[in-house]
Chain A
Amino acid sequence: MIDRRLFIHFDWVLLGMVLLISAIGILNLYSVTSNGETMTTPLYLKQILWLAIGLTAMLVIAFVEYRYYIDLAYIAYISAVVLLILVLGYGIITSGAQRWVRVGTLTFQPSEFVKISLILALAKFFQRPSDRQGYSLKHLGLPFFLLCFPMVLILKQPDLGTAIILLLIFLSILIFVKIRLSSLITLGAVGASALPLVWMFLKDYQKRRIITFFNPDLDPLGAGYQLIQSRIAIGSGGIFGKGFMKGTQSKLGFLPEQHTDFIFSALGEEWGLVGCFVVVGLYFLLILWGLRIAIEAKDRFGAILSFGVVAMLFWHTFINIAMVMGLMPVVGIPLPLLSYGGSFLLSTLIGIGLLLNVSMRRYLF
Chain B
Amino acid sequence: MIELNTQRMEDFKERYRYLRFFVGGAFFLIFVYLWYLQVIKGTDFRQLSENNRIRIREMVADRGMLLDRKGRILAANRPSFEVFLVPEDIQKNPETLEMVREILNLSPEEIGEKMKGLKRRLAFRPIKLKSDIDWDKLVLLESNRIHLPGVMLDVRPRRAYPYGTLASHLIGYIGEVDENELKQVSSRSYRMGSVIGKYGVEYEWEEQLKGVDGGRQIEVDAMGREIKHIRSVESFPGNNVFLTIDYDLQKVAEEAFQDKNGSLIAMNPKTGQILAMLSKPSFDPSIFARNITMEEWKALVEHPFHPLQNKGLQGQYPPGSVFKIVTAIAGLETGAITPQTQIHCTGVFPYGNRDFRCWKEKGHGTVNLHRAIVESCDTYFYQVGLKVGVDAIAHYAEELGLGRKTGISLPHEKSGIVPSSSWKKKRFGVAWYSGETLSFAVGQGYLNTTPLQILTLISTVANGGTLLLPQVVERVENIYGKRLKEYSTKQTGKANISENTLRIIQEALLGAVNEPGCTGGASALKQVRVAGKTGTAQVVRMAVDFKKGDMNRMPIKFRDHAWFAAYAPFEDPQIAVVVLVEHGGYGGAAAAPIAKKVIEKYFNLEASPPVKAEGNLADSIYD
CB <8 Å contact, B11 and A277: no
Cα separation A318 to B27 with both chains bound (whole Å) = 7
Provide the residues of chain A in CB contact with B124, threshold 8 Å: 252-254
CB <8 Å contact, A268 and B38: yes
Provide the residues of chain B in CB contact with A249, threshold 8 Å: 49
Q: Beyond A70-B2, A236-B48, A283-B27, list 6 extra A-B contacts (CB 8 Å).
A: A177-B12, A221-B215, A236-B46, A253-B123, A280-B30, A288-B23
Stretch from A109-117, A298-306, A351-359 forming part of the interface with B: A298-306
A26-40 residues with Cβ-Cβ distance < 8 A to B are: 36-38
> What residue in chain B is nearest A176 (Cβ atoms)?
B15
CB <8 Å contact, A287 and B23: yes
CB <8 Å contact, A177 and B42: no
Provide the residues of chain A in CB contact with B43, threshold 8 Å: 238
B14-34 residues with Cβ-Cβ distance < 8 A to A are: 14-16, 19-20, 23-24, 26-27, 29-31, 33-34
Q: Which of B's residues lie within 8 Å of A, judged by CB?
A: 2, 4-9, 11-16, 19-20, 23-24, 26-27, 29-31, 33-35, 37-39, 41-46, 48-50, 52, 54, 56, 88, 119-125, 183, 186-188, 214-215, 217, 230-233
Min Cβ gap B122→A in Å is: 4
Cα separation A236 to B56 with both chains bound (whole Å) = 20
Provide the residues of chain A in CB contact with B125, threshold 8 Å: 253
> What residue in chain B is nearest A70 (Cβ atoms)?
B2
Provide the residues of chain A in CB contact with B48, threshold 8 Å: 232, 235-236
Cα separation A290 to B56 with both chains bound (whole Å) = 44
Cα separation A308 to B460 with both chains bound (whole Å) = 70
Provide the residues of chain B in CB contact with A298, threshold 8 Å: 4, 6
| Interface residues of A, count at CB 8 A | 69
Provide the residues of chain A in CB contact with B42, threshold 8 Å: 235-239
Min Cβ gap B15→A in Å is: 6
Cα separation A307 to B447 with both chains bound (whole Å) = 73
CB <8 Å contact, B27 and A254: no
Stretch from A8-16, A79-87, A124-132, A147-155 forming part of the interface with B: A124-132
Provide the residues of chain B in CB contact with A45, threshold 8 Å: none
Provide the residues of chain B in CB contact with A228, threshold 8 Å: 54
Min Cβ gap B12→A in Å is: 5
Known: A67-B2, A229-B54, A295-B16. A129 touches B46 (CB 8 A): no
CB <8 Å contact, A221 and B38: no
23 pairs of residues in contact across A and B, judged by CB atoms under 8 Å: A68-B2, A130-B8, A134-B11, A177-B12, A178-B15, A220-B231, A221-B215, A221-B217, A225-B217, A233-B49, A235-B41, A235-B42, A235-B46, A239-B39, A248-B50, A253-B125, A254-B124, A284-B24, A307-B12, A321-B30, A322-B29, A325-B30, A325-B33
Cα separation A129 to B11 with both chains bound (whole Å) = 10
Q: Is A294 an interface residue (CB 8 A)?
A: yes
Q: Is A257 an interface residue (CB 8 A)?
A: no
Cα separation A38 to B121 with both chains bound (whole Å) = 10
Cα separation A241 to B110 with both chains bound (whole Å) = 41
CB <8 Å contact, B123 and A288: no
Which one of A235, A251, A325 has the highest number of Cβ atoms from chain B below 10 Å of its Cβ? A235
Cα separation A318 to B124 with both chains bound (whole Å) = 32
CB <8 Å contact, A220 and B50: no
Cα separation A134 to B8 with both chains bound (whole Å) = 10
Min Cβ gap B181→A in Å is: 13
Cα separation A5 to B401 with both chains bound (whole Å) = 83
CB <8 Å contact, A238 and B46: yes
CB <8 Å contact, A325 and B34: yes
> What residue in chain B is nearest A290 (Cβ atoms)?
B23
> What residue in chain B is nearest A300 (Cβ atoms)?
B5
Q: Is A231 an interface residue (CB 8 A)?
A: yes
Provide the residues of chain B in CB contact with A248, threshold 8 Å: 49-50, 52
Q: Is A145 an interface residue (CB 8 A)?
A: no
Cα separation A300 to B8 with both chains bound (whole Å) = 8
CB <8 Å contact, A239 and B23: no
Min Cβ gap B42→A in Å is: 4
A42-85 residues with Cβ-Cβ distance < 8 A to B are: 67-68, 70
Q: When the two chains form the complex, which single residue of A37, A288, A299 contacts B120, counting CB atoms closer than 8 Å?
A: A37
Provide the residues of chain A in CB contact with B120, threshold 8 Å: 36-38
CB <8 Å contact, A365 and B4: yes
Cα separation A239 to B36 with both chains bound (whole Å) = 11
Q: When the two chains form the complex, which single residue of B2, B11, B123, B188 contacts A252, counting CB atoms closer than 8 Å?
A: B123
Min Cβ gap A188→B in Å is: 16
Q: When the two chains form the complex, which single residue of A68, A178, A239, A301 contacts B5, counting CB atoms closer than 8 Å?
A: A301
CB <8 Å contact, A276 and B7: no
CB <8 Å contact, A295 and B12: yes
Provide the residues of chain A in CB contact with B233, threshold 8 Å: 219-221
